[in-house]
Chains A and B, each alone.
Chain A
Amino acid sequence: MYKKLNLRKIVMLLLIFCFISFLSVIPAFYGGYIKFHYDGSVHISRFESVYMALKSKDLPPIINFIGFSGSLNAYNGMYPWLTTLIFVFPRFILGGNQLYALMAGFFILNFLTMFNTYLLVRELTNRSYLRLLGVFIYQLSTYHFVLMYSRNAIGEALAYAFIPLVFVGLYRIWNRKEKGFLFLGLGMGLIINSHILSAIMITMIILGILIGRILLKEITFEEIRQYFYAVVIAIAISSYMLVNFFTIYLFNKIGTPFKGIQGINGGKLFEVLLNNVITDEAITFNIGLFETLLLFLLLVYAFVSDRNIWKKWIVGAGFLYLITLDWFPWHTEILVNSPLGTVQFLGRLLTYVVLFLMIGVVLFFEHQKGVFFSNWKLLLVTILLLFMGMCATYNYHVKKNDFFVCYFLKTNNDFSNVIYKKVIGSDYQLQTNTDKDLPIEYVNVNKTIQKYDQITLLTDSPKKRKVKYLIPIYEGVNYTIIENGKNITNEVRKGKMLTISLRKGHNRIVIRSKASGVQWTAFLFSIVAIILATALSMRSLLLKHREIK
């Protein structure tokens, strides 16, 4: 019942993936540093607090005590961190060198992206060269490099790595193959554990596809049952994340990240495509010149040739590409204030453009008559894509002074300095705040002692007074607050900014929070679910195909 494994082929594949991962990572670390701007600094702060917690064999609390200028925002609660473990674990192995750990993390990320994409292309074609073409179109897209290096959007980059799994699941379900729900659930669960917005967007896209299927009357009852199973698995896998998220979200009025619908500027896009530039500006996000041309040519071909299955995907990719452009009045107030506004940058849709393009290209070569694909072409395309991605990354990497806030991190010291002293916390603030007349006491990061589960604030006050810290005290989170050795937890009102009466002279305020029992349970449940789902889905790959009913 198990398939015969072609070990030589598997080893070759893994070697190729390793090699390409390696090449995708080095330009961003050339010269022994990484270029990070604000978003990158947020992520390394998050990593640090997870790392420190795991080091103490503890679960990170819902509040971040490390970084974010001591503003104790609920990044751990609101921003999923479970899949970022691929960036955190290497630190335990690589003797604590953070630069190397980050490098290893990016390596794993790229490898995972290719591995998952390979699982998807396996569903589309049996030809090895074509499978690799698909993998490389997705992996070596300029937008992937944009996500990782110029946007530093690590959460989204992780989601990018797991999105192919979702489509493995969908493809299996649509083609009545076994265990589709498993892949769909695993993929969705991991995306929820990586980036909430990506999870919402992919849900919308799947809903869009489903509506299409309903209209075309392709949907079956069996299919719906499979979706249902998948949802259950996804919830199980992301239970820890969901518990965290809803603890904060339901009990508190949270300032969500800013709303905006920033389209891609057509003229600017053309310029950066031609110059092969990656930047952090949302109006210039792009999938690269070659993939844009490829999409364009295939759209033309789709228009002039007969009906074929690759066309849906190409048209889908083309449609999504089109709506990312600022040709449409995206910036109108109504749209921005609507739920659509949470997308912020329409360029985020490029992930799906690349994915659909990749699927379309593979199906094109698989099913279109009169076109040929060979190993030489694969080599050529791969080299070109790799060349463009590496050059764009390198050129971005060596450019200085293109950001107001930009760090060139080399040593552990550089990392610590940024993590503990530089990152500004601004997201997930409480929106209710009544004590308007109280003076604000700003936290001076140099007078704090930051640990993963507690922070000590040292303040000198010229006189006895009541002050307000810009520190949200969330409802539903257990805090222990000690002022000058006295436990004042019960005096502090929740759901507001921290207000405290300072005495004259030195003050020492300790704020502590630990992961709750519910969190622990959910965490263990999530981990077990991920391991089980991964193991089962991997096992199903080794089984001979069987159709369901």
Chain B
Amino acid sequence: MNLRNINYKKLLIICILFTTVGILSVLPAFYGGYLKVTFDGNVHLSRFESIYKAISAMKVPSSVNFIGFNGMVAAYNSFYPWLTGLLFIMPRFIINNQLHAWMAGFFVVNFLTMVNMFILSKKLTNNFSLQLLGTFIYQLSAYHFTLLYSRMALGEALAYTFLPLVFTGLLNIWADNNIGILFLGIGMGLIINSHILSALITTIILAVIFMFRCVLKMCSLKEIRRYIYSALISIITSSYTLLSFFSVYVNNKVETPFHLLQAIVASDVWIAMLNNSIKDTSSIFNIGLIETLLLVILAVPAFISKYSKWKLWWMGSIGIGILTLNWLPWNSQYLVDSPIGSIQFLGRLLTYVVLFLAISVVMFLDKIYGQKFSMSNLIVLVVPLLAMGMCATYNYHITKKDDPIRFYPHTNHDFNEVAYHKFSVFDYQLKNNSGHSRIPIKEYSVYDTKQKYNQISIKITSSKARKYKFNIPIYIGVKYTVKVNGVERNIVPGRMLIAHLREGKNTITITSNPTKLQSIALIISIISIILGTSYSFYSEVRKSNVKNIGAI
């Protein structure tokens, strides 16, 4: 370990630069001292609150969520990975003000996105300016701002952060470097720990690339062996998430999120791009005017010049871009009902459009300009990108009531009100909840509940003594303790909670704690993530003996 080999000066420049851009990418979303929270954002506020509370109590979070979601105790913690969400949660241990903690969380995520993309860009070119260009095309894409602020799809935004690691791994593996195994494994593992659907889409894209390599006979047995090692690493790092997911998914029939194939409407997205809008309407998700023009204009050199490797990435980018458009008959029922329908918004694929665009632009400019591409060239491209991203975010941020469900939390109290009491989606419902139709459903107000990270107490007044059904799924494979008026009751798992109430006031308390296995898996996950990331980052930071592996 020779730390003297590290180029500290360059490292410092990079840190300062990324910190500045990170701060600038966050500020407009917090202008005026509030955060604009969407329907989806509400989910994340509630999820993160329950993780925060659990960790505050030095406990592993439960499989089901007692905080938020109208007190309906759904299994968000199991189905929706939260481990990388710690980037948003950890600042709260240092900063008491939730708004500031969120700000810090967003900053960390933006910073990490740039670091990861920079690591990837380093594989593509030796020119520092071009490495930064790749980083900023990815970081400052309008779609990144859409994910972070207007969609508030934080799971996807985290997947966006780690995606470059996956391709760093691939490029290394293709160049016959063993370090690629670690990058690919850690990258995929972190994506699984962020967002299941993103992990699936990434896997499919990797499979397609792999198939292409097989067809072009570029694939070797050694390479396949490395993929398998990577898969093992990613399974280890995501063991907690996978265990939580499958222990509920396998044992229960759970409603999956709705199927939809909402394509991007080409004429609407054009208007949205001209207006520099990042509104969270799924038919206008976009990567921004500048990047779209860049993507389209690259068609000219792609078409008139001879074969070069950047074209493959460009074709991937524009190919996926075309697939997101309404040119294809996506709305046919047949497609929507098929497994493809779980994508819901085809705009989700824009993540890959941006990444491949960044890769192809860097490789293209490296090929035609090489070292001649200078800092001033970089600034000409990056400043407009930053300005447009910040303006789009600001304009979105100050537009109020553009959707019936919007919150503008300011104080800790506002944040708690949203996290604990506001209505949000109720996914992961049990499918066979139609039984016992004779038993009436007892509704209760979320304000009559006391929500803790592992327990909920519901105060209910009943007009007479009888059995009631509650909109609370009792999943098989999750340990519950249910007390009605202080007496522990046996419950039947696999359907909605049924409890016998006495006349007058009642208190139902539901408690659930994680299993030993979950705790062990969580420790394995965390240790492997820490080890994996620190080793891979170390290998990046030190001046590598292996030179730039060139354009793959």
Binding site for B on A (CB under 8 A): 270-272, 274-276, 293, 297, 370-372, 374, 376-377, 380, 387-388, 391-392, 394-395, 398
Check B270 against A398 for contact (C-beta < 8 Å).
Answer: no
User: Which residues of B sit under 8 angstroms from A388, Cβ to Cβ?
Assistant: 327
Check B307 against A374 for contact (C-beta < 8 Å).
Answer: yes
Check B300 against A372 for contact (C-beta < 8 Å).
Answer: no
User: Which residues of A sit under 8 angstroms from B329, Cβ to Cβ?
Assistant: 391, 394-395, 398
- At the interface, yes or no: B328 with Cβ under 8 Å from chain A? yes
Chain A residue nearest in CB terms to B311: A376
* Binary A-proximity of B293-304 (CB < 8 A = 1, otherwise 0): 000100110011
Chain B residue nearest in CB terms to A368: B304
Given A272-B267, A276-B266, A293-B296; 17 other pairs, CB 8 A cutoff: A270-B270, A274-B266, A274-B270, A275-B266, A275-B267, A276-B325, A276-B327, A293-B299, A372-B304, A372-B306, A374-B306, A374-B307, A388-B327, A391-B327, A391-B328, A394-B329, A395-B329
Residues of B358-374 at the interface with A, using a CB-CB cut-off of 8 Å, are none
Chain B residue nearest in CB terms to A27: B329
In Å, the complex CA distance between A447 and B300 comes to: 64
User: Which residues of B sit under 8 angstroms from A380, Cβ to Cβ?
Assistant: 315
User: Which residues of A sit under 8 angstroms from B270, Cβ to Cβ?
Assistant: 270, 274
B262 vs chain A, min Cβ distance (A) = 15
Chain B residue nearest in CB terms to A371: B304
In Å, the complex CA distance between A297 and B265 comes to: 24
User: Which residues of A sit under 8 angstroms from B300, Cβ to Cβ?
Assistant: 297
User: Which residues of B sit under 8 angstroms from A372, Cβ to Cβ?
Assistant: 304-306
Q: Which listed residue, B267, B296, B303, touches A377 by the CB 8 Å rule?
A: B303
B300 vs chain A, min Cβ distance (A) = 6
* Binary A-proximity of B425-437 (CB < 8 A = 1, otherwise 0): 0000000000000
A384 vs chain B, min Cβ distance (A) = 8
Can you spell out 8 A-B residue pairs with CB atoms less than 8 angstroms apart?
A270-B267, A275-B265, A293-B296, A374-B307, A388-B327, A392-B327, A394-B329, A398-B329
Chain B residue nearest in CB terms to A365: B304
In Å, the complex CA distance between A370 and B304 comes to: 8
* Binary A-proximity of B260-271 (CB < 8 A = 1, otherwise 0): 000001110010
User: Which residues of B sit under 8 angstroms from A272, Cβ to Cβ?
Assistant: 267
User: Which residues of A sit under 8 angstroms from B325, Cβ to Cβ?
Assistant: 276
B30 vs chain A, min Cβ distance (A) = 35
B17 vs chain A, min Cβ distance (A) = 36
Categorize the interface residue count of chain B: 10 to 19
Check A275 against B304 for contact (C-beta < 8 Å).
Answer: no
B357 vs chain A, min Cβ distance (A) = 18
Binding site for A on B (CB under 8 A): 265-267, 270, 296, 299-300, 303-307, 315, 325-329, 332
User: Which residues of B sit under 8 angstroms from A395, Cβ to Cβ?
Assistant: 329
User: Which residues of A sit under 8 angstroms from B326, Cβ to Cβ?
Assistant: 275-276
User: Which residues of B sit under 8 angstroms from A297, Cβ to Cβ?
Assistant: 300
In Å, the complex CA distance between A509 and B104 comes to: 92
User: Which residues of A sit under 8 angstroms from B299, Cβ to Cβ?
Assistant: 293
In Å, the complex CA distance between A394 and B265 comes to: 17
Chain B residue nearest in CB terms to A372: B306
Check B332 against A271 for contact (C-beta < 8 Å).
Answer: no
In Å, the complex CA distance between A377 and B307 comes to: 10
Chain A residue nearest in CB terms to B304: A371
In Å, the complex CA distance between A391 and B307 comes to: 29
In Å, the complex CA distance between A377 and B267 comes to: 27
A153 vs chain B, min Cβ distance (A) = 24
In Å, the complex CA distance between A372 and B332 comes to: 39
4 nearest CB pairs, A to B? A274-B266, A271-B267, A371-B304, A276-B327
User: Which residues of A sit under 8 angstroms from B267, Cβ to Cβ?
Assistant: 270-272, 274-275
Chain B residue nearest in CB terms to A377: B303
Check B307 against A376 for contact (C-beta < 8 Å).
Answer: yes
In Å, the complex CA distance between A371 and B328 comes to: 31
In Å, the complex CA distance between A297 and B298 comes to: 12
Chain B CB within 10 Å — which of A274, A374, A392, A394 has the most? A274
Chain A residue nearest in CB terms to B306: A372
A306 vs chain B, min Cβ distance (A) = 16
B307 vs chain A, min Cβ distance (A) = 7
A371 vs chain B, min Cβ distance (A) = 4
User: Which residues of A sit under 8 angstroms from B306, Cβ to Cβ?
Assistant: 372, 374
In Å, the complex CA distance between A90 and B16 comes to: 75
User: Which residues of B sit under 8 angstroms from A270, Cβ to Cβ?
Assistant: 267, 270
User: Which residues of B sit under 8 angstroms from A271, Cβ to Cβ?
Assistant: 267
Chain A residue nearest in CB terms to B299: A293
In Å, the complex CA distance between A370 and B266 comes to: 33
User: Which residues of B sit under 8 angstroms from A398, Cβ to Cβ?
Assistant: 329, 332
User: Which residues of B sit under 8 angstroms from A370, Cβ to Cβ?
Assistant: 304
In Å, the complex CA distance between A272 and B326 comes to: 11
User: Which residues of A sit under 8 angstroms from B307, Cβ to Cβ?
Assistant: 374, 376
B445 vs chain A, min Cβ distance (A) = 46
Chain A residue nearest in CB terms to B327: A276
B15 vs chain A, min Cβ distance (A) = 42
A273 vs chain B, min Cβ distance (A) = 8
Chain B residue nearest in CB terms to A395: B329
User: Which residues of A sit under 8 angstroms from B303, Cβ to Cβ?
Assistant: 377
User: Which residues of B sit under 8 angstroms from A376, Cβ to Cβ?
Assistant: 307
In Å, the complex CA distance between A395 and B326 comes to: 10
B267 vs chain A, min Cβ distance (A) = 4
Chain B CB within 10 Å — which of A275, A374, A391 has the most? A275
In Å, the complex CA distance between A293 and B265 comes to: 19
User: Which residues of A sit under 8 angstroms from B304, Cβ to Cβ?
Assistant: 370-372
Chain B CB within 10 Å — which of A276, A376, A392 has the most? A276
In Å, the complex CA distance between A376 and B315 comes to: 12
In Å, the complex CA distance between A376 and B305 comes to: 12
In Å, the complex CA distance between A388 and B322 comes to: 10
In Å, the complex CA distance between A348 and B72 comes to: 63
In Å, the complex CA distance between A387 and B265 comes to: 17
In Å, the complex CA distance between A30 and B305 comes to: 39
In Å, the complex CA distance between A388 and B323 comes to: 11
B121 vs chain A, min Cβ distance (A) = 27
User: Which residues of A sit under 8 angstroms from B327, Cβ to Cβ?
Assistant: 275-276, 387-388, 391-392
B302 vs chain A, min Cβ distance (A) = 9
In Å, the complex CA distance between A263 and B77 comes to: 59
In Å, the complex CA distance between A269 and B296 comes to: 19
A311 vs chain B, min Cβ distance (A) = 16
In Å, the complex CA distance between A380 and B315 comes to: 10
B292 vs chain A, min Cβ distance (A) = 12
Chain A residue nearest in CB terms to B297: A297
In Å, the complex CA distance between A103 and B385 comes to: 51
In Å, the complex CA distance between A388 and B265 comes to: 15
Chain B residue nearest in CB terms to A394: B329
Chain A residue nearest in CB terms to B328: A391
Chain A residue nearest in CB terms to B318: A384
In Å, the complex CA distance between A176 and B265 comes to: 51
User: Which residues of B sit under 8 angstroms from A392, Cβ to Cβ?
Assistant: 327
In Å, the complex CA distance between A391 and B330 comes to: 10
B548 vs chain A, min Cβ distance (A) = 27
In Å, the complex CA distance between A392 and B329 comes to: 9
In Å, the complex CA distance between A371 and B303 comes to: 8
In Å, the complex CA distance between A287 and B304 comes to: 22
A272 vs chain B, min Cβ distance (A) = 8
User: Which residues of B sit under 8 angstroms from A371, Cβ to Cβ?
Assistant: 304
In Å, the complex CA distance between A374 and B265 comes to: 33
In Å, the complex CA distance between A224 and B329 comes to: 52
Chain A CB within 10 Å — which of B265, B266, B315 has the most? B266
User: Which residues of A sit under 8 angstroms from B296, Cβ to Cβ?
Assistant: 293
A132 vs chain B, min Cβ distance (A) = 16
Chain B residue nearest in CB terms to A384: B322
User: Which residues of B sit under 8 angstroms from A391, Cβ to Cβ?
Assistant: 327-329
A412 vs chain B, min Cβ distance (A) = 28
Chain A residue nearest in CB terms to B332: A398
In Å, the complex CA distance between A376 and B308 comes to: 12
In Å, the complex CA distance between A376 and B306 comes to: 10
In Å, the complex CA distance between A370 and B306 comes to: 10
Chain B residue nearest in CB terms to A267: B267
User: Which residues of B sit under 8 angstroms from A274, Cβ to Cβ?
Assistant: 266-267, 270
